[in-house]
Amino acid sequence: MSQAAFASPARPYSKALRTAFLPESTVRDLPPTPRIVAIASGKGGVGKTWFSLTLAHALLRENRESRILVVDGDFGLGNVDIQLGLRHKFDITHILKRQISITEAITPCFLADAGGSCQLDILPGHSGASTLSLLGHDRIHELLEQLRTLSGYDMILIDLCAGIDWSARAIAAAADTLLLVTTEEPTALTDAYAVLKLSMRDRQLDGLRETNAEIVVNQAAGIRSGQAVYGVLAEACERFLHQTPRLAGVIRRDRRVSETIRLQRPFLGDHSGSVAAGDIMRIARHVAGDVSVIRRPVMSVG
Ligand SMILES: Nc1ncnc2c1ncn2[C@@H]1O[C@H](COP(=O)(O)OP(=O)(O)O)[C@@H](O)[C@H]1O
Ligand SMILES: [Mg+2]
C-alpha cells in the first residue's frame, strides 16, 4: 500500500482538527463530519452484508433523527441492493469512473418498522464489475475523502468484500472504526486473525498506532460460546500482535435471518423481539455510544 496515500491522520477533516484555531461561534456553524465505520471479514458468507444493513437499521431505531449511509464497498460482488430489494439507477461504478457525483448515486430506502418506516440511504454497488479492480489507490482514497466531506450524515457504514483485497485493506485501515465480522468456525476465525494482522500493519505504516478494529461474532450458538471465540482471537492478537481488538458484540444464530434475506425484508421490522434483534440492538448502542456518532436532534445538519 502506498504510504503517501494514507500518511495523514485517520480523520483529516475531523471537527477537532478543523476547529483547533477557530472561535467557538464558527465551530458551532461547521457541519459535522460523518464517522466512517468499515465492516470487514476474512472469510466470505459470515453475514457482513446482513449485519451492515441491520446495524444501520438498529442505529436508526435508536435515534430516528440520525442519518446513516450504507456504502456497498464490495467492488466486485456487491449485493447490498439485492438484500434490500432496492431499485436504483446509478451505482458506485459510475462514481469511480467519474460519470456522476456521489449524491446523484445515493438512493433512499425505506425500512418497514413497527414505529413507522426508517429512511436509510444507500450507495449501491455493482456485481461483476471487473474494471473496478483496475482502479488505483488514489481513486479509492479520493472516494473516502469525498465520503468524509458528505454533509448531513452521522455515520457511513461501508460493507467491504471478504478477505485481503487491497481496496478493502485501504478502506479498513483508514476507517474510524473497523468492525470485523467472524463466525465461530475455525476457518472464519483464522481468516479474521489474518485480516487483523494486516490491518494493524497497514495502520502502523500510516503512522496510526492504535488498532481501530472491534470484533463481531455472528451466527453464534450462544453468547458464552461467542465470547469464548472472541477470547481466543483476542489472546492471539495480544500475544503475537501486541494489540487487542475489543468485542463489539455477539449475535446469535437465527434461522429467520435467511428467511428475511430471501424475502428481501428488514430483519428488525419483522422480528424485533428475537434474540438476534436484541443482540444487534446492543451492538448498535455500543457503536453509537462508543464513537459518539449519533448526532442529537438539537444539532443542525450542514
Ligand atoms: N445471525 C445469523 N443467523 C443465521 N444466519 C445468518 C446470520 N447472519 C447471517 N446469516 C446467514 O449468512 C448468509 C450470508 O450472509 P451475507 O450477509 O450475505 O454474508 P457476507 O456479506 O459476509 O458474504 C445469509 O444468507 C444468512 O442466511
Ligand atoms: Mg456481502
Residue 262, pLDDT score: 94
Residues 6 or more apart in contact with residue 34 via CB below 8 angstroms: 69, 147, 148, 150, 153, 154, 155, 156, 293
CA 196 to ligand 2 center in whole angstroms: 18
Closest by CA position to 243, among listed 252, 251, 234: 234
3-state DSSP assignment of residue 216: strand
Task: Tell me the sheet residues that pair with 108.
Answer: 121
Query: Nearest ligand, CA of residue 226?
Result: 1
Residue among 257, 260, 275 whose CB has most ligand 1 atoms within 8 A, to mutate: 257
Residue nearest to atom 15 of ligand 1 (CA): 47
Residue nearest to atom 25 of ligand 1 (CA): 258
CA 79 to ligand 2 center in whole angstroms: 6
Residue 164, pLDDT score: 79
Which residues have CB under 6 Å of ligand 1?
41, 44-50, 218-219, 251, 253-254, 257-258, 261, 276
Query: CA dist 179 to 134, 135, 137, 166, Å?
Result: 26, 24, 22, 17
CA 78 to ligand 2 center in whole angstroms: 7
The DSSP symbol for 133 reads: G
CA 82 to ligand 2 center in whole angstroms: 10
Residue nearest to atom 3 of ligand 1 (CA): 253
Residue 140, pLDDT score: 84
Query: Nearest ligand, CA of residue 264?
Result: 1
CA atoms of 205 and 65, how far apart (whole Å): 38
Contact 83, 100 (CB under 8 A): no
What is the position in ligand 1's atom list of the atom closest to the CA of 253? 3
Residue nearest to atom 16 of ligand 1 (CA): 47
The DSSP symbol for 279 reads: H
Topology (CATH) of 44-291 = Rossmann fold (3.40.50)
CA 267 to ligand 1 center in whole angstroms: 12
CA 142 to ligand 1 center in whole angstroms: 31
Residue 137, pLDDT score: 80
| pLDDT digit string (tens) for the chain, length 302 residues | 333 322 233 333 333 334 444 455 555 556 678 999 999 999 999 999 999 999 999 999 999 889 999 999 887 787 898 999 899 999 888 888 889 999 999 999 999 887 788 899 999 998 776 656 557 788 888 889 999 989 899 999 999 988 878 888 989 999 999 999 999 999 999 999 999 999 999 998 888 889 999 999 999 999 999 999 999 999 999 999 999 999 999 999 999 999 999 999 999 999 999 999 999 999 999 999 864 444 433 333 33
Residue among 50, 158, 181 whose CB has most ligand 1 atoms within 8 A, to mutate: 50
Residue 20, pLDDT score: 43
What is the position in ligand 1's atom list of the atom closest to the CA of 181? 22
Residue with cell 437499521: 57
Residue 180, pLDDT score: 97
Terminal-to-terminal C-alpha distance of the chain: 34
Handedness of CA 241, 191, 253, 38 (dihedral sign): positive
